[in-house]
């Protein structure tokens, strides 16, 4: 006759055997610019993976966007891990806002700097531009940023494509009504956003570089549907926040002042297939590309969301037309972007005439 003790011992042995027989898989992922490791069993379900990610990051299951783990859309929560077709690297990117860090908690000091910079769009051939590019301090800051940057690739870079570096705040959306919760994401995005990105993606790999903290950046991208939506006909390859930016010293109204800058060389050092010959940087703040004035395309700031004027904004339509034209040039350095709107207008008129 089997005793309770014997039965308990038997169950324990069975559980131990099942644990030993199970195959365990180690996955690596990046979230909020940090690398993590998570171990799951083949007998686990997708739900178990999400639960473990929640325990590591405090990002609730319903907010999790898991990119690059499998091809296409992540399977249903009930699917076994053993039945998932992982990418060869078993690496993925997690996008999502942790509990307590929702938009409603954002403070004014975390919003991007929008100081007027009309006097700071340098000519690439000017003495000031050359001086800033050759400044020893600036060069050292670039190398420090290169060394410290953990640049995560969410979607593989494609051979032969150009590089498009896009600012987010006030370039692709009106930030304040989104972060304050006044308007939903679809009403804060610049008209034609997704169509523009689809058009650009044909010729360019896309990098988003925003002067905000990672938490707010990834949350905004998810809210806008720019990442995590497998139905889009474009992919954002990589994302940078304010971390690699550093301050430089420029002149305004004859007086020196300091401001942060986005140095493209930081990206080029990580991806040598890109350089000034095939990179375009779009931003509403000209000062952000004072170290790369030749690559900068200044776009008007979008701060009129919710108005008729905002609904009639066609800046991205014009920019898309220009970028397609630019992509046909073997070396971007032969093009002066200062007059990009005139070029876009001429291209439209030519298309309307059928010439």
Q: What is the pLDDT of residue 2?
A: 45
* pLDDT band of 114, cuts 50, 70, 90: very low
From 179-188, 245-254, 262-271, the region with the lowest mean pLDDT: 179-188
Q: What is the pLDDT of residue 259?
A: 84
Q: What is the pLDDT of residue 228?
A: 80
From 52-56, 181-185, 289-293, 336-340, the region with the lowest mean pLDDT: 181-185
From 41-45, 80-84, 99-103, 255-259, the region with the lowest mean pLDDT: 99-103
Architecture of the domain made up of 18-95:
Roll (3.10)
| Residue 11 pLDDT greater than 50, yes or no | no
Q: What is the mean pLDDT of residues 79-93?
A: 87
Nearest Cα residue to 67 out of 152, 180, 175, 184 = 152
Question: What pLDDT digit, counting tens, does each position of 307-338 carry?
Answer: 777 778 999 999 999 999 999 999 999 999 99
Which phi and psi angles does 239 have, rounded to 5°? -135, 135
Cβ count near 261 (within 10 Å): 23
Nearest Cα residue to 161 out of 325, 327, 292 = 327
Domains of the chain by residue range: 18-95, 115-353
Q: What is the mean pLDDT of residues 8-31?
A: 66
Higher pLDDT pick, 352 / 204: 204
From 30-34, 169-173, 331-335, the region with the lowest mean pLDDT: 30-34
| Residue 105 pLDDT greater than 50, yes or no | no
Question: What predicted TM-score, i.e. pTM, was given to this entire model?
Answer: 0.74
**Residue 75 exposure: Cα atoms within 13 Å on the Cβ side:** 17
Contact 278, 162 (CB under 8 A): yes
| Residues 6+ away with beta carbon under 8 Å from 261 | 245, 246, 247, 248, 287, 288, 289, 290, 291
Beta-ladder partners of 91? 28
CA distance 295 to 292: 6
Question: What pLDDT digit, counting tens, does each position of 294-306 carry?
Answer: 999 999 999 865 5
Q: What is the pLDDT of residue 102?
A: 61
Q: What is the pLDDT of residue 36?
A: 95
CATH T-level assignment (fold) for domain 115-353: Rossmann fold (3.40.50)
Higher pLDDT pick, 260 / 120: 260
| Residue 9 pLDDT greater than 60, yes or no | no
């Amino acid at each position: 006759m089997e005793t309770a003790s014997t039965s308990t011992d038997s169950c324990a042995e069975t559980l131990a055997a099942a644990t030993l027989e199970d195959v365990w898989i180690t996955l690596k992922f990046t979230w909020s610019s940090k690398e993590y490791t998570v171990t799951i069993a083949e007998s686990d379900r997708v739900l178990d993976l999400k639960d473990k990610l929640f325990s590591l990051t405090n990002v609730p299951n319903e907010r999790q966007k898991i990119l690059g783990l499998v091809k296409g859309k992540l399977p249903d929560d009930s699917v076994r891990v053993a039945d998932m077709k992982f990418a060869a690297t078993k690496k993925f990117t997690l996008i999502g806002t942790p509990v307590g860090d929702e938009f409603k908690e954002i403070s004014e000091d975390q919003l991007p700097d929008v100081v007027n910079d009309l006097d700071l769009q340098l000519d690439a051939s000017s003495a000031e531009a050359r001086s800033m590019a050759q400044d020893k301090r600036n060069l050292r800051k670039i190398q420090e940023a290169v060394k410290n940057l953990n640049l995560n690739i969410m979607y593989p870079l494609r051979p032969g494509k150009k590089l498009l570096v896009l600012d987010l705040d006030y370039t692709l959306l009106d930030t304040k009504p989104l972060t304050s919760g006044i308007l939903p994401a679809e009403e804060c995005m610049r008209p034609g956003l997704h169509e523009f990105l689809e058009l650009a993606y044909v010729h360019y790999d896309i990098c988003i570089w925003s002067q905000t903290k990672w938490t707010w950046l990834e949350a905004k991208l998810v809210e806008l549907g720019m990442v995590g939506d497998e139905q889009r006909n474009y992919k954002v390859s990589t994302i940078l926040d304010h971390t690699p930016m550093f301050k430089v010293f420029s002149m305004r109204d004859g007086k020196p002042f300091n401001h942060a800058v986005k140095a493209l060389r930081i990206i080029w050092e990580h991806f040598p297939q890109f350089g000034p010959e095939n990179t375009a940087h779009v931003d509403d703040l000209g000062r952000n590309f004072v170290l790369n004035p030749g690559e900068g395309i200044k776009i008007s700031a979008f701060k009129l969301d919710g108005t008729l004027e905002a609904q009639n904004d066609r800046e991205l339509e014009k920019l898309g037309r220009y970028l397609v034209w630019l992509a046909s040039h073997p070396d971007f350095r032969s093009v002066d972007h200062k007059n990009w709107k005139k070029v876009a207008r001429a291209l439209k008129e030519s298309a309307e005439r059928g010439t």
